[in-house]
Amino acid sequence: MWVSGGLLATVLVLTGYLAFSGDDEKTGPPSGAGASASAAASPSPAPSYSRPEEWTEPDRWAALPRGQRTDARGSQVGFPKSTEGAVAMMAAANSISVDSERDAVDEQLRIYRSYVAEGDQSDESAAKIELDAVQTDKMLHKEFGLPAGGPLPAGAYMRNTVVGYKVIKESDDSVSVWLLTRVVRKAGETSPERASYTRSLSGAGWTDGDWKLSGKAFAGADTSDKPAIVAPGDAAFNDAGWVAIREAS
């Protein structure tokens, strides 16, 4: 089922990012940075990536639209019927915050219920997402040197935010893109924040008046040309064809 392999991109960002993403010890953007900080293919390894000190302005920027409303789960929905509206939904579906108040199970089920079309949802898939998220929480506790079970301590968190995208294919009712995501994690109030970057594939379809994660859009995407995993501000970001994302006003 596509949800198990497709939406798992979001789960992978939480469970597997240490294996396939490049670390960046710096916690803030380079001087002059303007960027704020899925249904997917497996992100590619970049274990040696280190963001350069010198800031190179991205050639392409986008201020993605916000959703028109917030649903009962606290997710933005109601995105405009445009390519940027589809990207905005996919970025929202890949923006996750795990901390002392919300665990990975909360976040993954929120995303599943908010951003997967109802016709594509099933109890079996929801159970799979929940089981994967439980393993995510265990892994995160282990990484932070904490006993399994219970919430994270105050000041501990993991957050991922989409900072760039590259359109693969677009039409009136279907959009597929590569997403570039910055993942940050902190073991506690006195611990340093660590950051890494991941690349994932995402697809969206126009369904019942809104964009939803789409297995069909994902399956039809040409994944042969994978953009390099490079942060905004790196000269290679432009060479890779990424569009940097500004915070919407």
pLDDT single digits (tens) 75-119:
999 999 999 999 999 999 999 999 999 998 999 999 999 999 888
Of 35-44, 77-86, 216-225, least confident by mean pLDDT is 35-44
- Phi, psi values for residue 193, rounded to 5°: -85, 135
For tokens 């432009």, what's the residue? Answer: 238
Contacts of 45 (CB under 8 A, 6+ apart): 19, 20, 21
The conformational region for residue 224 under phi > 0 = left, psi -120 to 50 = alpha, else beta, is alpha
The DSSP secondary-structure symbol of 200 reads E
The DSSP secondary-structure symbol of 5 reads I
* pLDDT tens track for 44-66: 334 457 778 888 999 999 999 99
Residue 238, pLDDT score: 96
Inform me whether the pLDDT recorded for 225 exceeds 70: yes
Residue 32, pLDDT score: 29
pLDDT band of residue 215 (cuts 50, 70, 90) is: confident
Partners of residue 184 on adjacent β-strands: 159, 195
Q: What is the mean pLDDT of residues 191-215?
A: 91
Residue 8, pLDDT score: 43
Inform me whether the pLDDT recorded for 183 exceeds 70: yes
pLDDT band of residue 216 (cuts 50, 70, 90) is: confident
Residue 13, pLDDT score: 36
Residue 150, pLDDT score: 84
pTM for the whole thing? 0.81
Residue 223, pLDDT score: 86
Euclidean distance between CA atoms 92 and 109, whole angstroms: 14
Residue 48, pLDDT score: 54
For tokens 């649903």, what's the residue? Answer: 71
pLDDT band of residue 24 (cuts 50, 70, 90) is: low
CA dihedral (143, 146, 147, 151) positive or negative = negative
C-alpha distances in angstroms, 119 versus 102, 122, 139, 162, 192?
A: 27, 8, 31, 26, 43
